[in-house]
Amino acid sequence: MHVNYVYILECRDGTLYTGWTTDIDRRLEEHNTGLGCKYTRSRYPVKLRHLEEFATKEEALSREIAIKKLSRSQKLELIKDSGSEEGVGIMKKGFIIREALPNDAAKLLDYTQQVGSETHNLTFGAEGIPFTVEEEERFLESIQKNKKAKIYLALSPEAEIVGNATIQAFSRERTQHRANIAISVKKKYWGQGIATALMQQMIDFTRSIGVELITLEVLSENQRAISLYEKFGFEKFGCLEHFYKLDGEYYAADYMRLEL
């Protein structure tokens, strides 16, 4: 299953270009090396300013045509509305947010080992997620088929996974209005707006599937993350004192919620 992307680029001369692709990483590299379309060959390097994803090629092409019909001011307004200033800022630097694909499995497992070794804020350590590459591929395939779940990746201009976000809505009728989320970012990239962009992406997705309530767990001492969540309107509604145990020490976690 391919994800279809519609994107807006800002070219070196300040003009905007809209395109469609199923491989955003490869296409950005082509646009930035003079191998892209005729329009960008004389205007690179380019910066990714806006990105949307669609399940089918038909939907993506229809959206591409609609965006191309917009005036420059309307496109700039669309870029402005696509996320917070920080989120748009990371795209200006060449970072992108996209859905995780099965062929990301090996890189994603390596990512979990690195972020797990950098902080004790997560429920796993340097061991990462105990899946084989094949198991992770099957898991990512199952997520792709699940209309109520997403795994998003934040990628650097060099296609390095620098952030990850997971969202899972409940499937049962009585709880399908709820979803749980989780975010992690490599320590080297903290404070660059990546978690903000991932959070905005998840909130947009949950709204699109009719979710009314988002919940998450965060270590009570992780004030950096709590401040981010509060910025989006999350509120604390509980605390578990012995959330997990590491090296004989217990750590508490806050439960937070956001009503959409």
- Asked if 255 and 149 sit in the same domain, the reply is yes
- Are 56 and 27 contained in the same domain? yes
**Cα separation, 9 vs 28, whole angstroms:** 9
- Count of the separate structural domains present in the chain: 2
CATH number at residue 233: 3.40.630.30
Mean pLDDT of 21-31: 85
Please report the pLDDT score of residue 104 as a whole number.
92
Show the domain range for 228. Answer: 98-259
**Quick check: is 89 in a domain?**
no
Q: Where does residue 18 rank: exposed (0-12), middle (13-18), buried (19+ CB within 10 A)?
A: buried
Rounded mean pLDDT, 17-30: 87
Across 173-178, average pLDDT: 90
Same domain for 149 and 243, yes or no, is: yes
- CATH number of the domain where residue 29 is located: 3.40.1440.10
pLDDT attached to residue 59: 85
Give the residue from 135, 137, 115 showing the smallest Cα distance to 127: 115
Is the Cβ–Cβ distance between 218 and 229 less than 8 Å?
A: yes
Residue 88 located in a structural domain: no
pLDDT digits (tens, 9 = 90+) for 50-94: 888 787 889 889 989 999 999 998 888 777 655 434 444 455 467
Six token digits for residue 45: 């390097």
Between residues 108 and 81, the one the model is more confident about: 108
63 and 190 both lie in a single domain = no
Q: What is the mean pLDDT of the chain?
A: 87
Q: Say yes or no to pLDDT of 1 above 70.
A: no
For 30-34, 57-61, 71-75, 152-156, which range has the lowest pLDDT when averaged over its residues?
Answer: 30-34
Residue 92 included in any domain: no
Q: What angle do CA 188, 164, 95 make, to 5 degrees?
A: 65
Q: What is the pLDDT of residue 204?
A: 86
Give pLDDT, residue 81.
57
3-state SS, one letter per residue, for 134-149: HHHHHHHHHHHHCCCE
Is 80 exceeded by the pLDDT of residue 152?
yes
- Of the listed ranges 89-98, 157-166, 192-201, the least confidently predicted one is 89-98
Does the structure show a pLDDT above 50 at 206?
yes
Query: Do residues 142 and 170 share a domain?
Result: yes
Looking at the structure, tell me whether residues 115 and 221 fall in a common domain: yes
